[in-house]
Structure 1
Amino acid sequence: MSAHAPLPITYFSDLLCIYAYASEIRLAKLAEAHGARIRVQRRFCVTFGDTEAKIGEGWKDKGGWEGFADHVQEVAAGFPHLEVAQAIWRDVRPASSHAPHLFLKAVELACGREDYETATLALRDAFFTEARDISRGEVQRSIARAAGVDVGAAEARIEDGTAFAALAGDYEAAEAQKVQGSPTFVFPEGRQKLYGNVGFRIIEANVAELLRARDPDEPAWC
């Protein structure tokens, strides 16, 4: 790997995960701190593939949907920068994160990285702040159009099957790299992983040390 090439960081997340939503500010801070020295690749892992099984059944002894909704609000309260609608998981219950993941992989293939990242943020915001059911196709398309995405081009990638293949690639990569859940930062060659609600200073320390180790004028201590 060239010392001048950006440091690749893979960021795995599930679109419906509150901790991943909270981590968006950490991604923004990393970009602000390091700019072109790093390159973050967003990929998807699956945590909310079947929300009825995960929440409706899995939280049955902890209050079910209402209990999980309370849990999300408690998590959000720990992040002053977040605004989370009270209706999510109480009244608005997306059936699966597979559907928006598929749509976003189609956007990535058809429209490129910038539109993919824009649409990812737009869908995530729409769910958490506006309580919109982003598992529904018409909701995905409406949000993406408002963000300036060529929805027709993206839909063509779903129709021809390539978006399914791209999403399968993300899930298989997450499994191969032993990603435990959402969100997870994976550093080059999978040697280091940071999973869950990890503070920015820890992420930043890892990134800074990896960048330092790639500098031929600096001794590598990690």
Structure 2
Amino acid sequence: MSLPISHYSDLLCVWAYVTQPRVDQLQDTFGDAIDLGFHYVPVYGAALDKVDEHWGRKGGLAGYNRFVTGLVDELTDLPVHEGVWVENTPASSAPGHQWLCAARLAEADDALPAGATAKLAWALRKAFFAEARNIADHGVITEVTETAGVAVAPLLERMRDGRAQAAFSADLAETRAMNIRISPTMTLNEDRQRLTGNVSYDVLEANIRAML
């Protein structure tokens, strides 16, 4: 039986971007011994308000751009675009989250192959952080999906009939009920353990090995 792990993040969160390789490494290390479920917490549901709240007196979008690019360069070898957050700024992470909820449903219905949702989430994150693309724009989202090799039709079907929005609403309700406000947050052992923010790979692995 696999160990269920829930991973909550926001597509526009730089901490989720820099820690994603650690999540990938966990999957490579433990394989079928863990069952990672991906959910979305709306840290940047109103992205411009969020940045203004924390960076309005520290240079606004330009100041946040300097922080994000510096952080990615300092902590990882991941690519980061010099214009992230100041070029093609997304208004919200919600459109991308709804699209990923559609992918998650399609994957559960076998309309998409296993792993398609995680693959698409990474493609959208890279499009934003590495290419400074507006991943709140439906056209951009669709193009990124096609480029990633993920079928668009099953996602559109679940967007049109409201199932994706219902799943997104359920994620929102769950994060509120569990008081999850930090991206990323990983919960284990029926939420008896939480690992939040910039947690090292060694700590993540140790906690999972202890649970297993």
Q: Normalised by the shorter chain, which TM-score bucket? A: over 0.9
Q: Say whether residues 1:51 and 2:47 are aligned partners.
A: yes
Residue 215 (structure 1) aligns with: none
Task: Give the length in aligned residue pairs.
Answer: 207
Provide the C-alpha distance between the structure 1 equivalents of 2:43 and 2:136, rounded to a whole number of angstroms.
14
The answer for the alignment partner of 1:97 in structure 2 is 93
- 1:75 is matched with 71
**1:180-219 to 2 correspondences below 5 Å:** 180-211=181-212
Offset of residue 92 of structure 1: 2.5
Segments of structure 1 that go 5 or more residues without pairing to the other structure are: 212-222
Match of 1:201, SS state, is helix
Q: Which residue does 1:84 correspond to in 2? A: 80
Segment of structure 1 superposing worse, 77-86 or 134-143: 77-86
Residue 87 of structure 1 and its aligned partner are, at CA, apart by 0.7
**1:31-66 CA distance string (max 9 Å, x none):** 122111111111111111111211135421111010
CA radius of gyration, larger in: 1
Task: Kindly report structure 1 stretches of 4+ aligned residues shifted beyond 3 Å.
Answer: none
Distance 1:178 1:171 in 2: 10
C-alpha separation between the residues in 1 aligned to 2:150 and 2:50?
Answer: 31
CA contact 2:18–2:76 (8 Å) conserved in 1: no
TM-score relative to the length of structure 2: 0.93
- Distance (whole Å) between structure 2 residues aligned to residue 88 and residue 16 of structure 1: 10
* Cα distance in structure 1, aligned partners of 2:179 and 2:204: 19
Report deviation, 1:149: 1.9
Question: Quick check: 146-155 or 96-105, which moved more?
Answer: 146-155
Note the residue ranges of structure 2 that are not aligned, 5 or more in a row: none
Distance 1:34 1:156 in 2: 33
Report percent identity of matched pairs.
Answer: 35
Deviations 1:191-219 (A, max 9, x none): 000111111111111101001xxxxxxxx
Q: SS at the partner of 2:89?
A: coil
- 1:112-123 equivalences under 5 Å are 112=112, 113-123=114-124
Aligned mates of 2:51, 2:165 — CA distance in 1: 25
